[in-house]
Structures are given as structure tokens and as C-alpha cells.
Chains A and B, each alone.
Chain A
Amino acid sequence: MPLNSAYAGKRYPPTAPYQVGREKIREFAAAIADDNPAYHDVAAARELGYPDVVAPPTFSFVLTMNAMTTAMFDPQIGLDYSRVVHGEQSFEIHRPIVAGDEVVVDATIEAIDGSGRHEFLTVRADVRTVAGEDLVTTRSILVSRGTGAAAGGAS
């Protein structure tokens, strides 16, 4: 089944507030084996001008996963998870996330393009503080393999 392109532009309500914890940042940095002191050591982060430890650039993907999942698996869009491949990912960082930030995320289906063999679903997620400060804009391109027009919109 091809994806329902009428849903391009649909924006989903923001997630419940999430507080970014110092230990979560440290755990994530350890999991990517990154010992940059700004991720682990409050004093080192403060020396750089931050109020607390800084999150690695790709950490915000963790924050966006719930909002993205809601958008991707909107039954109206008709995405089959077994066909999905993560095609591209981008981060536009307006202000680095630091421990103590309380954030909300909302996801938008930015585009659905299905002229080739595969269909491409672009999901944007906006990470903001609860006070409304923009932190990060992420874009994920998800590939729905073999459901495009050139593949005959295969079932």
C-alpha cells in the first residue's frame, strides 16, 4: 500500500515535558564512548560557559523518538514498520541542550514523496523548552521500501 500523501503537513501535539538529567547525558555519552569533559564534568562544562553538562549533538534524537513514533505510526499514513529504513538524519542546533532543560517535542510530517520505487517520509521534530525556547530541529527521512509508484505501489 502506498503511503497516504494527504497527511503531508500534519503536525502532532507536543509530548509531555521531559527533564534532561545529568546522569542521562553521562550515560548516553558513555554509550557512544565519548569522554569529552563537557558531557561528564560540570566544572568543565561551566568553564565553557554552560550551566551544567552539555548533551552530545545526537542526544536529541533520544528526546524526539516518542514524538516521531506517534507521527510515523499514525495508522492514517499506513507505514509498514517491516519495510522501514532510516535513510537520512539531520540536526539543526539552535542552542545546545544542557542538564536541567525541561523540553517538549512536537513532530510534523513534512513531506511524503513516492514517485520512485521507494517512498520517502520526512518527519521534522522541534525540541523546545517548556518556556518556548527553540533548542533543536531534527529531520528524519524514513524510507518505505518498495511501496513507491514505480514499484507499482506494491502491497
Chain B
Amino acid sequence: MNPPGGTSIDPSSLAIGDIVAHAEFRVRRIDLVKYAGASGDFNPIHWNERTATSVGLPDVIAHGMFTMAQAGRAVTDWIGDPGRLEQFTVRFSSPVVVADDDSGAGVEVTVRVAELLDSGDRVRLDITAHSEGSEVLGHASAVARLR
């Protein structure tokens, strides 16, 4: 499949280290309940404080896959056509801790150009994500097709 639409990003306009996307958002308990329902991942550490603290966590934590999805969104918002994302890898370095209040946890995602591949047909991106001062995604990267 080779979609005709999609990105209008010119590889020659990209330099290593350029920040191409930055997103800040808040994760609240309701987001985790919705994600549990839509994904089918009902592990109680993502919605039940009693279970979370009984296994040594400070409080309920976000699904790692929810945080990964948000990092993916930062990338796909930039490339336009989400089908141009070909590879996506993260390490879950520390959990996003979500308190039972109206503000929840803040998460910040930054996407940088790491390397142009295949004469600029593809780009490798480095992704960082932090929550309340801790790195929540490490060694995170994506490869997207530009043309």
C-alpha cells in the first residue's frame, strides 16, 4: 500500500536534533478507565489504588501502552498520514503515577530528528517522555516514511 496523500515534509528541511513535535497533556483516572475498556487491559493497578499500593506502587499508574499511544500521537500528528509510521519502540523506564484528583499527572513528549535513512525517504526519530520530573519512556524511537 502506498498512500498518495499524507506528508508534505521535505527531508532536506530536516536537521539532526530538530524538535519536530512537542506535546503536553494530563492523564486522569477517567482516561485510564476509558483505555482499560477500549483495550481490554483490566489490570487493577491501572484503576484500583488498593491493588496498586499492595504491590508496592505509590498509587494507581497509567497503562504503559496508554503513554506509548500518546507518544505515537505526537509522531503521527507530525507526519499526517499515520500509516507512514513503520517502526515504533519504547522502554518503560518509570510509571506515570495518576493521583485520584482533578488534575491527574502531567506528561510531556518531545520528538527529535535522529537520522535520515534511505536518502531521506525515511526518518528515524528520537522520542522522550517525562512525567512530574521522571523519564517515563526511554530509548524510544520511531521510523516514518516521508515519501
- The interface of chain A, by Cβ under 8 A from chain B, is 27-28, 30-34, 36, 38-39, 47-50, 54, 56-58, 61-62, 65, 82, 85-93, 95-96
Contacts and interface: CB of A to CB of B under 8 A. Distances in A.
Interface of B: 1-6, 25, 31, 34-35, 37-41, 55, 64-66, 68-70, 72-73, 76-77, 81-83, 85-92, 139
Given A56-B72, A87-B91, A48 B66 contact: no
A47 B89 contact: no
A32 B81 CA distance: 17
Contact of A38 (B82, B87, B90): B82
Contacts of A95: 1
A58 B66 CA distance: 9
Contact of A89 (B55, B76, B85, B92): B92
A56 B77 CA distance: 11
Contacts of A85: 92
A49 B82 contact: no
Contacts of B85: 57, 93
5 contacts: A31-B37, A31-B38, A48-B6, A48-B81, A56-B72
Contact of B89 (A31, A32, A56, A89): A89
B3 A49 contact: yes
Contacts of A28: 38-39
B65 to A, nearest CB: 5
A58 B87 CA distance: 11
Nearest to A139: B89
Nearest to B71: A58
